[in-house]
Structure 1
Amino acid sequence: MHRTLTDIAKEYDVVVLGSGAGGMSAAIFAALQGADVLLVERTEYLGGTSAYSAATTWIPLTHHAATVGAEDSFEKVAGFLDRAVGNRSPRAMREAFLRAGPNVVAELERRTEVRFRPRPFHPDYLYELEGATPCGRALEPEPFQADVLGNTLKLIRPPIPEFTILGGMMVDRDDIPHLMAMGKSLKSAVYSAHIIGKYCLSRLRYGRDARLLMGNALIGRMLAAALRLGVDILTETETVALEATGSVVTGLTLRQDDTTRRVSARGGIVLATGGFARHPKMRREKLPQPVPELSPSAPGHTGALHDLAFELGAYHGEDAAQPCFWAPCSHRRRPDGTMAVFPHFVFDRSKPGIISVGRDGRRFVNEATSYHLFGAAQFAANRDGSHIPAYLIADARALAKYGMGMIRPGGADIRPYLNDGYLTAGATLDELAAKLGIDAEGLKDSLARMNRYAETGVDEDFGRGTTVYDKANGDPAHGPNPTLGKLETAPFYAVRLWPGDIGSATGLVGDENARLLRRDGSVIEGLYACGNDLQSIMGGVYPGPGITVGPAIVFGAIAGRHAAARAGAAPRSQAA
């Protein structure tokens, strides 16, 4: 249950630091093994960036794959990762993930409240590589009606406000078509009235939405499981020291408000704090220039535990293609003074009638590529400072139909966005270019080229719309290429895009049991890591949707089980 530092035990089998998907998984699997578990979160909310995210979970070869007709095998997916990642991560770590993943999902669904579902079409991002699949590897959490949590529901980190409606109501891909059609269809009107009614009742009862979707659903289901399994939970609690007896980690010192307490860990401590990326010094040293000022991720991943792990001999990996995973982001000041950082994942960049350019007015990337590759392309093109920010450009027709960034599709009132500068408008391309400070001739040439490609269906510059992944994020009703459309209806609009880090790829080096290692290859007994604290098995490459959450859950499970076994815990019965 949720406790204060003064009433927890002095000794646990396993202590988990961090409450995102990886930390929750470690706590759950340690508890399933019969361990006494303490879960510690330094912020006021549980869930980390996992709670903010869509929580798509890339775990291949599960029992769900057959339900959507996926044709997959260990050899196929291992080969795909070999081609995508190569020597940027140890093959043994990737194989450990692939071999453990199906059992982890099966055990979660058999013994806890966690439930996943596949989509019949959810392709890998690097679809041009041999071994990619259109479905079966990426799972998503089933929605969760979280009344069972009672007031504990308030501990879950709320979703990003700009991804909600009506002041906090969560919506997913199944809700959006009904909400947009509720004035045109009786079925959609009934559906919309049902979910809006439940939201209003939840606000009255809990002060927030209890119908949890995406990342909130995953964390809510995991929290329900952890509480039922007897995991003790602390929030707003800082780890100030990791302690070792000889070369073995045996405990830690925690601080909550003015109270400090030492806690022993018989089996081990699992680091699941979200990575280094909000550590000021590491951020300056490891991220490319210019260092992004803002990130859409949750605030807890300060990297402070990495400093403590370094003192015990742990070290960061050095082979990742990128130090972080990226997404292009736009920024807007909220009425309360806080800054909204909006990640442009899939809803606008790949739609017809929208392109992205640098200060020279010219395109620099296939806009329909993955958000990670888009962000990396911004850094690569920014040698002279001309592509950070970049500019997402749309004509009036595309903006009204598809929206752009925080501007929702369907003809939303754009005046507030124009008034505060989030959106820039120009009656002509020359006017828009002047307002943005970009080259007008380059911009006009870019639009002329795109207008030709929209007719032929072939992007001769960047091949946009040629892969299954590209097409999946376009407009299926638009042809001949679902991602290519003319920009010809004035006025023209722009939103500025900066690369933002959505998770660390560089992390602490561990082995197949998630135990941290020293540079000489020896194991730091009693110290584990998962999630973004562990060096990414994807090596700073982004092969498919959910490649951070999936490995976090699997290596969290591996760490939790191993630490529980070190403590001599006796596994619980198989009953749910």
Structure 2
Amino acid sequence: MSFNPSPLPLITTQPNPHPSRLQSATRTQTKTATPEFAEETDLLIIGSGAGALTANLRARSLGLRSILIEKEDLVGGASAISGGGFWIPCNPISGVADSKDAALTYFAQAVGDVGPASSLEKRDAFVSNGARMVEFLRQHGFEFHVSKGYPDYYPRMEGAMGGGGRSLEARVFDMRRVGVWEGRIRPSGIPVAMYTHDGRVFSRVLSSVVAFGYVVRRMLPLFARMVVGQRPASMGRALVGQLLHLNLKHDGEFDLRTQTGLSKLIQDPTGRVVGAEVRTADACTSIRATRGIILAAGGFAHNKEMRETYLPSPATTDWTSSPPGDTGDAIQEGIRIGAATALMDDAWWGPTIIDPVTLKPHFALMERSVPHCFIVDSSGARFMNEAESYTDAGHDQYTRNETVKAIPAWLILDSNHRERYMLGRLLPKKKPSKQALGQGVVITATSLAELARKTGIDPTGLVATTKRYNEMCKTGVDEDFGKGSNAYDQFFGDPVVGPNPNMGPLLKPPFYATAVWPGDLGTKGGLLTDEFQRVLDKDANPIPGLFAIGNTAASIMGRTYLGAGSSLGPAMTHGYIAADFISKELDAK
């Protein structure tokens, strides 16, 4: 086995320079005589996230030659900085009762009819092959961890699993096992190795003796591993690390080229995609892909022009949690050669604050779900269940902003919240820095009326909302939005608080506010694909030789988020499906 963690030898490479982001949509199709190619492979994979690495491992196991290219100098894309969960119904790891019928019923209830992006055929293929993908990885040595108790996001719907079981993640992984690649995997930003179901307790470590003891018990084994020289990683970094490790140890050469970006898809006179022009810092070359190309390059979260064209207003790249290379190159190339698209106006939304420690966007999950806080618009009124699924919260914020200014909205909390729970990376009891206060990242006041004036919120509205919210906290029933009324909400609440683990009154000054923006984990819209992940043209016919997975493809989840790992689960499964189809197509020939 050999591998090269660098791009093509003799070439110093950089991320692919791009033309104007929407210019590619107006180019003519490239259906001229097939050019000469500098090299040849069976399968070319564009991207290096979890979906791409799964597709590559499956393809190599089926005897296909493959090349992966990644335009950035770091591998893993959004997968590496994610929570690392992947949602797989009927998986063989969790040990809970599940069924295909239940999963498909849940799909029908939660996603509904969003068109061909989530057709019945695609749902059936995903549910049927997800478990096979998991078993395939297990046979190759992937070590799984069950996201204990992590419920589906709509636990009351028919077919949902309110007690969890469909969300998996990678076990804590020693990054030394990938050798020189360790420094080439995108850092996750997670300060310590933890599982997703542990993160909710870490965020409230000082809220109770029980929470503190739990964190200590979880940390001791990690410290022991570090003492003996291990470098433990978790969540998305562990997922990418394990998949990379499996690819490296598989028989044959692992060919992943960083700082090598897609420049242009190449078609033969019949319209079949037969290769691609790829670009490094100072050179272009062409690669023939005799069996196909899988586009796994992410969405367009960092493409300002595309966001302004497709996504709701206001649109900006400032609030996204996706990595900077997420600029829509592969989607634009698909559009250029005639591919259909779907869901281009949607994203994996989520309330986002500016972290008072790092001063960077922070995807706020736990902060808004624990007691002693709520979110309001400029009128001082609540407009959502603060503990709801993050994608739903993003939709709610944009919808509210159409009638009342709600971008930014404001997370309002009191000192009880600050003494018990983290705010981004700001530890409980710790005061915001002078920089955070000076820049208005965190605003504080001794009264709610003063806080309202400092933030531009209507004071009368904020005081009235607080009074009503505090009254509802006594009974634990959110009569307005149902906060804390289901298993998903409660999963991120504080179990020592009653009668509702998600609700607690705002009584103790000083009071705090931080702006809430409609951030995202990436975009949902992309190239339309069929159940084999073949890219479809505008007449719903497959474009021969072209496949798309992950955020490059329109999401099978439609406009919802069914459970933890609703982006990575399909990305990995679809990579497996595409590789299988390409191999079987080869066998048929």
Shared topology, TM-score over 0.5? yes
**Match of 1:463, SS?**
coil
2:479 to 420, 443, 460: 460
Amino acid at match of 1:135: G
Instruction: Tell me what 1:328 maps to.
Output: 351
Instruction: Tell me what 2:262 maps to.
Output: 239
User: How far is 1:24 from its partner?
Assistant: 1.1
For the pair 1:138 / 2:138, whether they are aligned, the reply is no
CA distance in 1, matches of 2:217, 2:375: 39
For the pair 1:94 / 2:123, whether they are aligned, the reply is yes
Instruction: Tell me what 2:7 maps to.
Output: 4
Preserved CA contact (<8 Å) 2:126 2:574: yes
The number of residue pairs the alignment matches comes to 547
For the pair 1:155 / 2:184, whether they are aligned, the reply is yes
For the pair 1:304 / 2:334, whether they are aligned, the reply is no
2:104 to 61, 72, 78: 78
User: How far is 1:266 from its partner?
Assistant: 1.2
Q: Kindly, what percent of the aligned residue pairs are identical? A: 33
Instruction: Tell me what 1:287 maps to.
Output: 311
Cα deviation, 1:373-417, whole Å, max 9, x if unaligned, reads 111111000014510001001110112101223323x32232443
1:421 to 401, 424, 440: 440
User: Structure 1: which 5+ residue stretches go unaligned?
Assistant: 203-208, 571-576
Cα deviation, 1:270-296, whole Å, max 9, x if unaligned, reads 000011333333211111011134211
User: Structure 2: which 5+ residue stretches go unaligned?
Assistant: 12-37
Residues 282 and 364 (structure 1), Cα distance of their counterparts in 2 relative to 1, 3 Å cut: same
Preserved CA contact (<8 Å) 1:3 1:232: no
**Match of 1:65, SS?**
coil
**Match of 1:86, SS?**
coil
Preserved CA contact (<8 Å) 1:292 1:499: no
Preserved CA contact (<8 Å) 2:307 2:316: no
Cα deviation, 1:471-502, whole Å, max 9, x if unaligned, reads 11111111111111111011101111100121
User: How far is 1:325 from its partner?
Assistant: 1.3
Instruction: Tell me what 1:268 maps to.
Output: 292
CA distance in 2, matches of 1:80, 1:187: 33
2:388 to 365, 369, 373: 369
Instruction: Tell me what 1:60 maps to.
Output: 89
CA distance in 2, matches of 1:187, 1:501: 30
User: How far is 1:170 from its partner?
Assistant: 4.0
CA distance in 1, matches of 2:99, 2:193: 35
Instruction: Tell me what 1:258 maps to.
Output: 282
CA distance in 2, matches of 1:77, 1:401: 37
Amino acid at match of 2:107: L
CA distance in 2, matches of 1:262, 1:43: 18
Preserved CA contact (<8 Å) 2:151 2:563: yes
Residues 44 and 200 (structure 1), Cα distance of their counterparts in 2 relative to 1, 3 Å cut: farther
CA distance in 1, matches of 2:449, 2:516: 20
Greater CA drift, 72-81 or 253-262: 253-262
Residues 406 and 334 (structure 1), Cα distance of their counterparts in 2 relative to 1, 3 Å cut: closer
CA distance in 2, matches of 1:176, 1:76: 28
Instruction: Tell me what 1:195 maps to.
Output: 222
Residues 40 and 333 (structure 1), Cα distance of their counterparts in 2 relative to 1, 3 Å cut: farther
Matches within 5 A, 1:526-537: 526-537=545-556
Preserved CA contact (<8 Å) 2:356 2:426: no
CA distance in 1, matches of 2:476, 2:216: 37
**Match of 1:243, SS?**
strand
Residues 464 and 60 (structure 1), Cα distance of their counterparts in 2 relative to 1, 3 Å cut: same
Cα deviation, 1:513-547, whole Å, max 9, x if unaligned, reads 11111111221111100001111111121122111
CA distance in 2, matches of 1:129, 1:191: 33
User: How far is 1:568 from its partner?
Assistant: 5.2
**Match of 1:64, SS?**
coil
Instruction: Tell me what 1:114 maps to.
Output: 142
User: How far is 1:314 from its partner?
Assistant: 0.9
Amino acid at match of 1:4: P
CA distance in 2, matches of 1:384, 1:397: 32
Cα deviation, 1:55-78, whole Å, max 9, x if unaligned, reads 111010011232xxx332111110
CA distance in 1, matches of 2:528, 2:422: 42
Instruction: Tell me what 1:248 maps to.
Output: 272
**Match of 2:526, SS?**
coil
Residues 522 and 548 (structure 1), Cα distance of their counterparts in 2 relative to 1, 3 Å cut: same
Cα deviation, 1:163-206, whole Å, max 9, x if unaligned, reads 42xxxx4444548868958999999768646635755887xxxx
Instruction: Tell me what 1:26 maps to.
Output: 55
Residues 539 and 189 (structure 1), Cα distance of their counterparts in 2 relative to 1, 3 Å cut: closer
User: How far is 1:83 from its partner?
Assistant: 1.0
CA distance in 1, matches of 2:531, 2:113: 16
Amino acid at match of 1:247: G
CA distance in 1, matches of 2:150, 2:225: 29
For the pair 1:210 / 2:231, whether they are aligned, the reply is yes
Amino acid at match of 1:219: V
Amino acid at match of 1:234: R
Amino acid at match of 2:535: L
Instruction: Tell me what 2:24 maps to.
Output: none
Instruction: Tell me what 2:26 maps to.
Output: none
Instruction: Tell me what 2:21 maps to.
Output: none
User: How far is 1:15 from its partner?
Assistant: 0.7
Residues 58 and 177 (structure 1), Cα distance of their counterparts in 2 relative to 1, 3 Å cut: closer
The TM-score with structure 1 as length reference comes to 0.89
Amino acid at match of 2:287: V
Residues 183 and 464 (structure 1), Cα distance of their counterparts in 2 relative to 1, 3 Å cut: closer
CA distance in 1, matches of 2:171, 2:220: 21
